[in-house]
Chain A
Amino acid sequence: MTEESEVSETNETAGAAGTAGTPGAAGASAAGGTAETDDFLARAHALLADHPVVDGHNDLPWALREQVRYDLDRRDIAADQSDDLHTDLPRLRAGGVGAQFWSVYVRSDLPGGHAVSATLEQIDCVRQLADRYPQDLRLAFTADDMEQARAEGRIASLMGAEGGHSIDDSLATLRALYALGVRYLTLTHNDNVAWADSATDEPRADGLTRFGEEVVREMNRIGMLVDLSHVAPATMRDALRVSEAPVLFSHSSARAVCDHPRNIPDDVLESLAANGGTAMATFVPKFILPEAVAWTLAADENMRAHGLHHLDTTAEGKRVQRAYEAAHPRPMATAATVADHLDHMREVAGVDHIGIGGDFDGTAFTPAGLEDVSGYPNLIAELLRRRWSTADLSKLTWRNAVRTLRAAEDVARDLQSRRGPSNATIEELDGAAPQD
């Protein structure tokens, strides 16, 4: 919290600048390639050399699983993979990435209940990437490891699990994921779990159940960050009430800027200062650009009008979707759209509580200027244009995320001296699990 004083001053100037320049104009200038833009871009690169990006969410492991079933020879990320992936090592370097939370996401609807073993396979994939590219990647399990990797010029590789289905309602399985290196767990993905509500499902538990609260407490005790992206606002509020450690939003933006359920309401953003956590703004256009939200709703409606599920990817589904896109061009988000969210989040949550979580390789569409992992300098240039100070940007890119992980470690050390592992079961705390 010592960082607060130097922040408030920069906040005022930058806040004024943010309201003065309209997002549209800024986006146009970013695309224009003027001498002024080049100057901002050069400054962005210089800044990232000193304060690289900690990105909260990248789905490369899932993309490798889906595309080539982890055949890493067929997607050698030491070489350019821009035909198939948002992510490869040269572009991570060009993007100024210093630490990456690799998502070990698995679908919540894997047939036959194989989420836990699929999660272990995802973890195995990240470890193999680190083994395979030791010059560029270094596994990191602590904030110290992140600093060390940065000092060595390697990209700190952390792991985050996405969705409570990865622990199969078992706190011991949660501890096993920690032991294998996972450092955050997103409480839900797009669907509810038995103990927590998702933002994109029907409310059932009204936030966290008692077992859900126990999951949060156990995560605090072992030092795993509680990730509140994807969860319902009621779950966010419950988790913030229960959590003894700072929380994370690994890839979520501001609901006040774009009203989509995946984004964070202002009251939750406001409570981050007291909690000490970090909200990492995401780049997914259909969450962050109001026009894209409306367009997606209309496109989904069109699919349903043709008698198809809105996520249908059969040939027929793709044909209908392409026809709709031809008639109604998809609205484009830009780096300025993301900057709008960050301006607002800095205003509401405070500069000590914001970060970046691109969701690359986890989304089909990306904003102009942020097409892949080499795009971060364009975002930083946009923020420099909006008069963000170097101090603020260094917090956004690196310092907040490292501080949050370190604080979770401190809380864990403290809690471990006071309580042992929890062996509570969902049956004990919630009665019979509602659905399983």
Chain B
Amino acid sequence: MADTAPVLQGSPRAFTPAPAPEPAPDPAPAAGPDPVTKNDAAPKNDSAARTGPATRTGPETRAGSAPPTGPMARTASEPRTGSETASVPAPAADPASVTRARQLLAVRPVADGHNGLPWTLRLRSGHDLTPGHYYDLDLADATLHTSFPALRAGGVGAQFWSVHVPPGAVGDRAVSATLDQIDFVHTLVRSYPESLRLALTADAIGDARNRGRIASLLGAASGHAIDSSLGTLRGLHGLGVRTMALTHDRNTPWADSALDEPRAGGLTLFGEEVIREMNRLGMLIDLSMSSIDVMRHTLALSKAPVLFSHSAAAALTGRPGDVPDDILERLPVNGGLCMVTFEPARMARGTGPATLADVADHLDHVREVAGASHVGLSGCYDGGPETEPATATDGTYEPLPRPRGLEDASRYPYLIAELLDRGWSETDIAKLTWENTLRVLRGAEFTARAGGPRRAPSMATIARLDGARR
């Protein structure tokens, strides 16, 4: 009975992912790492990277020159033509660095923290995935940042698909909108079995990569999704949600947003219980868009590593929602991860529009303050601004443009090339793109395993702890 129940088929407690067909040989370069390449990549330093492509043969040449599929895919050796680059200034990166970046991504692909495609498709097509009806994600579409050719060319190996709560939705509207999008992501994964594979654990992410699929995870973008109910939180976990942002642009009844008037002064007692229950379940706590008080409060409380799924460094931009240095400094102790957003409105400094270099600056800063083990990438492709107006499903919704140089999901190699040019070691790049994300997920799983047997599911209610019903 299948298709709607990836969950709970055989065993009552285990979430069994929908079976994917046996892996077919995959043409894309991002997939199927060659063991030789894998062993080679990590220890290399910059100079090896620069000279590598010219002198080396074998696996690297294969990885670097394998033709990506689809119109969005380009390799460094294929210079862009004039018509293609009309609106896209060519990146300044050294072509050799771009080639090296692609080689690195073939082994440690990007695990990206935030992609708004589900909500964008919902607004534009009402979730209709009938091939050819609205969008065929196997083809690049100029009005979307995300397509499978773009993700392949970008070296993306794992993606947190954002399960968005529409602006203003509370109560059942927020819950059923969340269930609606969870269902959509499951449908998306089933509709493109050659490209996507549902991943509910760190191990499953590795499996997906080894099968040449993009590991697909679900991340809820706002605490409104659980309607102040721990039973509902467990329901979302049962449906595959593995991260939840405590707030988006509005306070929840139990946690303050960075973009709203402070009310709880951090987390309420019920908010603390949400943290403990997420620890117990193994769901990552996403602090992007939470108020600084909530960040501090959570870091003091959480037994598992935390996540910033799409954030900027306050030291560079200083907008509400950005992560201050004193929080970044605490990430090594917590083991957590700050994924730097590409959101232009969050990256831009001064007057000019945001560029790839701005994103690299934030990455530099987070690496400097938190350390290379606590920085990650979050393209936020096909996402809207943090505060968006209620938008009708009239097919006109356009995702906001991305920074110059990072226009769509195929552009990650140019960012990696920029970081190589700035002197990032290949070890640090491997952590940035892939290893940190897996470690954080594993950390949350470990906390859940270690604490689960000692704690029963929490039956606390917001009425009991905070004295107010939702």
Residues of A within 8 A of B (CB): 69-72, 111-118, 120-125, 127-128, 130-131, 138-139, 141-142, 167-168, 170, 172-173, 175-176, 178-181, 222-223, 409, 412-413, 416, 420-421, 423, 425
Contacts and interface: CB of A to CB of B under 8 A. Distances in A.
Nearest to A412: B1
Given A71-B459, A420-B130, A114 B179 contact: no
Nearest to A114: B171
Contact of B4 (A72, A113, A139, A178): A178
Most chain B C-beta atoms within 10 Å of own C-beta, residue among A71, A139, A142, A420: A420
B187 interface: yes
B84 to A, nearest CB: 35
B461 A117 contact: no
A233 B161 CA distance: 44
Interface stretch (B33-41, B227-235, B335-343, B371-379): B227-235
Contact of B227 (A114, A123, A142, A423): A114
Pairs A-B, 9 closest by C-beta atoms: A121-B231, A139-B12, A120-B235, A117-B227, A124-B231, A172-B183, A172-B180, A176-B179, A168-B176
A179 B461 contact: no
A421 B186 CA distance: 11
Nearest to A144: B10
Contacts of A122: 231
A170 to B, nearest CB: 5
Contacts of B180: 170, 172-173
Interface string B1-30: 111111111001100000000000000000
Nearest to B457: A128
Contact of A180 (B2, B235, B459): B235
A138 B176 contact: no
Contact of A116 (B129, B179, B187): B179
Contacts of B13: 127, 131
B470 interface: yes
A176 B163 CA distance: 14
B461 A69 contact: yes
A266 to B, nearest CB: 33
B457 A124 contact: yes
Contacts of A175: 4, 179, 183
Given A113-B172, A125-B231, A170-B176, A179 B4 contact: yes
A416 B18 CA distance: 14
Given A121-B229, A121-B232, A175-B4, A116 B175 contact: yes
A117 B175 contact: yes
B126 interface: yes
B269 to A, nearest CB: 16
Contact of B172 (A117, A125, A131, A420): A117
Contact of A141 (B5, B129, B227, B228): B5
Most chain B C-beta atoms within 10 Å of own C-beta, residue among A71, A116, A123, A124: A116
Contacts of A113: 171-173
A379 B220 CA distance: 50
B312 interface: no
B226 interface: yes
Interface in B171-229: 171-173, 175-176, 179-184, 186-187, 226-229
B232 A179 contact: no
A142 B176 CA distance: 25
A190 to B, nearest CB: 19
B128 interface: yes
Contacts of A413: 1-2
Nearest to A138: B12
Contacts of A112: 171, 470
Contacts of A117: 171-172, 175, 226-229, 231-232
Contacts of B232: 116-117, 120-121, 124
B457 A172 contact: no
A413 B3 CA distance: 9
Contact of B182 (A69, A115, A176): A176
A173 B178 CA distance: 9
A115 B4 contact: no
A115 B5 contact: no
Nearest to A413: B1
A114 B226 CA distance: 10
Contacts of A125: 231
A178 B186 CA distance: 13
A172 B179 contact: yes
Contacts of B129: 420
Contacts of A423: 126-128
B175 A120 contact: yes
Nearest to A428: B126
B239 interface: yes
B7 A416 contact: no
A46 to B, nearest CB: 31
Given A170-B180, A421-B4, A423-B128, 16 more contacts: A72-B459, A114-B171, A116-B172, A116-B176, A117-B172, A117-B229, A120-B229, A120-B234, A121-B231, A121-B235, A130-B12, A172-B176, A173-B183, A176-B183, A222-B5, A412-B2
B238 interface: yes
A409 B235 contact: no
A427 to B, nearest CB: 9
Nearest to A416: B3
B277 to A, nearest CB: 11
Contacts of A116: 172, 175-176, 179, 227, 232
Contacts of A142: 1
A176 B8 contact: no
7 contacts: A112-B470, A114-B171, A114-B229, A116-B176, A141-B9, A180-B8, A413-B1
Contacts of A167: 176
Contacts of A114: 171-172, 227, 229, 470
Contacts of B186: 179
Contacts of A120: 175, 229, 231-232, 234-235
Most chain B C-beta atoms within 10 Å of own C-beta, residue among A120, A121, A131, A420: A120
B213 to A, nearest CB: 21
A62 to B, nearest CB: 13
B253 to A, nearest CB: 11
Interface string B228-251: 110110110011000000000000
A288 B232 CA distance: 36
Contacts of B238: 127, 179-180
Contacts of B8: 139, 141, 179-181
A215 to B, nearest CB: 14
A179 B457 contact: no
A94 B238 CA distance: 33
A15 to B, nearest CB: 37
A393 B362 CA distance: 73
A231 B4 CA distance: 26
Nearest to A157: B12
A179 B5 contact: yes
A120 B230 CA distance: 9
Contacts of A131: 13
Most chain A C-beta atoms within 10 Å of own C-beta, residue among B7, B127, B175: B175
A167 B126 CA distance: 18
Nearest to B182: A176
A70 B175 contact: no
Most chain B C-beta atoms within 10 Å of own C-beta, residue among A121, A127, A176, A178: A176
Nearest to B228: A117
Contacts of B171: 112-114, 117
A127 B231 CA distance: 10
Interface in B263-308: none
B456 to A, nearest CB: 8
Contacts of A127: 12-13, 234, 238
Contacts of A111: 469
Contact of A421 (B187, B229, B231, B459): B187
B231 A115 contact: no
A171 B470 CA distance: 25
A106 to B, nearest CB: 10
Contacts of A420: 129-130, 187
